[in-house]
Amino acid sequence: MFVRRFLVAAAVCLPLAACTPSQTIKEQNQPLQSGRQLSAAQAAADKGKASAEPAKAASTPEIRDDLPPMPTLDLTVPPTDLWQRIRNGFGMRDISSPLVADREAYYLNRPDTLRQIMQRSRKYLYYIVDELERRGMPTELALLPMIESAYNPRAYSRSRALGMWQFIPSTGKNYKLDQNWWRDERRDIIASTNAALDYLEYLYEMHGDWHLALASYNWGENAVARAIAKNKARGLPTDYASLPMPKETRYYLPKLQALKNIISQPELFGFLLDPLPNRPYFATVGLPGDMDVALAAHLAEMPVKDFIDLNPAYQRPVIHGDKDTVLLLPQDKLDVFNANLKSYTDQDKPLATWRTYRLKRHESLASVAKRYKISLSGLKRLNGIGRHTRVRPGLNLLVPGPHARVPAQLLTELPKDPRLRRTSHHYRHRHYRHRRVKHRHVRHHRRYTIKRKSTHTAKK
């Protein structure tokens, strides 16, 4: 039994033993493949892998980034749009407050007014931006006349501030802006801009902060200095937002920030901002002597109103010229003016045709206006005669000569003399005080009279 089982097991194991060693030896005895055969096999494997990868990629959807590329700004290339040049020069820190949103809504709810301000600024912006960049100042300051005067160089305020930058008489004198009978340089485009930027630089050096400098420009440097001193004494912050100030000054910076936001992204606010060419609008030309305003506009072949918009400092029908007197003309009118001026002077024609007339005894302004064929109101305006000006014999008047040009625009567009408004205001103030004193004296006299009568009656 044991022998049978042994024989069966041996019969089963012998074939297995004979098979396995022979197969192993056969595999071991196979010749090694050459290097060229290995390379070919590897290349075939790589090709098969590469062909499998596109199939896999085709089955897997590709994920792409739909975000637009980051915009780049090359400051070495000047932009063709002046608004973009202004945006590139923004350097003041932004403020965010409900007052800014309030002013944004204010401007956007008045699109016609805002568009008119932008249109009016086109004549002056290039010069102002150019000066700001030359001085290294932030271009937000080019938006300041939009707040001060809506870019109207003839603007006049109740505080007697005048011009695009709204200089009061005393500050204008401090910065050497002439104010005389012939002209007021607070209206002059170049002189007032240079004075305003000088003043802003001085205020920035005083505070070291543009927000406080602008508050000083609006409120007054001494007022801001007193507010800073009070906050320091109380241990409070001294920044713009922490200082107590009038309502006008509190809204001053939010107005500027609102305009900055609208100009930065007009499409975001739904405002159409027309492109503005990044080139000078006007050029300067020297004046050879006295010249009529109407004649200068005629030689430049432009309307009187447009000529006065660039030369608003001259408030008489004659420009009193000296060696420093210059005219501003559009770039495309400069050659035309010079050619016409040469042709005009070659004919020995006078450049100034207005002359002085001395008022005679028993003569009225109405009779003089009738004689020289201009309206009475026009004669008064051209000579700076107000309601309270003393008209008496010997008064010198400017009247047109035989060949003088007196267009209708000259009588309506020529800037008014600001001293007339000051005289009228001071007269009313003095007259009101005089009436108060007079009435107080009358009341006192009545009381004294009644008291004397009552004492006399009691004695009786």
- DSSP string covering 358-420, please? EPPTT--HHHHHHHTT--HHHHHHHTT--TT----TT-EEEEE-TT----HHHHHHSPPPHHH
Averaged pLDDT for residues 166-173: 96
Buried b (16+ CB within 10 A) or exposed e, 368-378: bbeebebeeeb
Q: What share of the chain has pLDDT > 70, as a percent?
A: 75
What is the Cα–Cα distance from 284 to 278, expressed in whole angstroms?
18
pLDDT band, residue 220 (cuts 50/70/90) = very high
Q: Tell me which residues are annotated as active site.
A: 148
Mean pLDDT estimate for the chain: 83
User: For residue 9, is pLDDT > 70?
Assistant: no
pLDDT at 239 over 60: yes
Determine how many CB atoms are found less than 10 A away from the CB of residue 367. 13
- H/E element, 135: helix 125-135
CATH 1.10.530 correct for 82-264:
yes
- pLDDT of 454 reads 52
Q: Please give the pLDDT value at position 36.
A: 43
Residue 351's nearest CA partner among 324, 326, 379, 321 is: 321
The token pair that represents 228 in the structure block: 């800073």
Q: Mean pLDDT over residues 350-369, rounded? A: 95
Where in the chain are the domains? Answer: 82-264, 282-418
Which of the residue ranges 32-46, 109-123, 392-406 would you say has the lowest mean pLDDT?
32-46
β-bridge partners, 162: 156, 167
Predicted confidence (pLDDT) per residue in 128-138, tens digit: 999 999 999 99
Of the chain, the end-to-end C-alpha distance in Å amounts to 182
What pLDDT, on a 0 to 100 scale, did the predictor assign at position 401? 93
Are the CB atoms for 299 and 337 separated by under 8 Å? yes
pLDDT category of residue 429 using cuts at 50, 70 and 90? very low
pLDDT digits (tens, 9 = 90+) for 52-87: 454 444 455 565 656 666 656 566 788 999 999 999
For every residue of 102-115, DSSP letters joined together read HHHHHHHT-HHHHH
Distance (Å, whole) CA 460 – CA 455 = 9
| 163-172, 294-303, 304-313, 430-439: range with lowest mean pLDDT | 430-439
> How many helices (H) and strands (E) would you count in the chain?
20, 6
Mean pLDDT of 219-241: 97
Q: How far apart are CA 106 and CA 276, in angstroms?
A: 24
Q: Please report, as a single letter, which amino acid is at residue 212.
A: L
* Pairing outcome for strands 318-319 and 291-292: antiparallel
Residue 139 DSSP code: G
H or E segment at 250? helix 247-250
pLDDT band at residue 419, thresholds of 50, 70 and 90? confident
pLDDT for residue 143: 98
| β-bridge partners, 283 | 329
Structure tokens at 143: 């938006």
Entry pTM: 0.76
pLDDT-derived band of residue 34, with 50, 70 and 90 as boundaries?
A: very low
Q: How far apart are CA 281 and CA 165, in angstroms?
A: 19
432 falls in which pLDDT band (50, 70, 90)?
A: very low
Position with higher pLDDT, 415 vs 420: 415
Instruction: Provide the pLDDT for residue 387.
Output: 84
Amino acid at 424: S
DSSP assignment of 40-60 equals: HHHHHHHHHHHHHHHHHHHHS
b/e code 239-278 from CB counts within 10 Å (16+ = b): ebeebebeeebbbbbbbbbbbbbbbeeeeebebebeebeb
The conformational region for residue 305 under phi > 0 = left, psi -120 to 50 = alpha, else beta, is alpha
Under a CB-based contact definition with an 8 Å cutoff, are residues 168 and 159 in contact?
yes
- pLDDT-based confidence at 393, cuts 50/70/90? very high
User: 87, 259 in Cβ contact below 8 A?
Assistant: no
CB 187 within 8 A of CB 162: yes
Q: What is the CA 6 to chain-centroid distance, rounded? A: 115
439 or 133: which leads in pLDDT: 133
Angle between helices 210-219 and 252-264 (to 10 degrees): 120
Q: What is the pLDDT of residue 7?
A: 41
Mean pLDDT for 153-176 is 96
Give residue 66's pLDDT: 63
Cα separation, 294 vs 96, in Å, equals 49
